[in-house]
Amino acid sequence: MKKNIIYCSDACPFCQRAYQLLDKRHIPYQKRYVKSQNDWDEVMEKTGRNTVPQIFINGTHVGGFDDLSAAEQSGRLDDILNG
């Protein structure tokens, strides 16, 4: 199974909401804190975005919290988890 990773900052309210949703679903994840310019460069390289959270489930880039929430509501998150 591929790792679930969240590029995040604990000061970010959307990151907190992403943690809550994943915890509620019992989906394990690893936090990667974005602090330095090198961290931001990595996020940009992998996602094309310059905001956090950026969420990867089973190696699939889901996007930010709004994208995660939409995937949860549509059932797409289950597809990603099972796929």
Number of domains the chain is built from: 1
What global pTM score does this model have?
0.93
Tens digit of pLDDT at every position of the chain (83 positions):
578 999 999 899 999 999 999 999 999 999 999 999 999 999 999 999 999 999 999 999 999 999 999 999 999 999 999 98
Q: What is the CATH number of the domain that holds 38?
A: 3.40.30.10
The answer to whether residue 28 is domain-embedded is yes
Q: Which domain holds residue 31?
A: 5-63
Nearest of 65, 67, 61 to residue 2 by alpha carbon: 61
What single string gives the DSSP state of each residue in 62-80? EESHHHHHHHHHHTHHHHH
The answer to whether residue 17 is domain-embedded is yes
> Is residue 31 helix, strand or coil?
strand
Give bridge partners of residue 31 from the DSSP assignment. 6
Nearest of 59, 70, 58, 64 to residue 27 by alpha carbon: 58
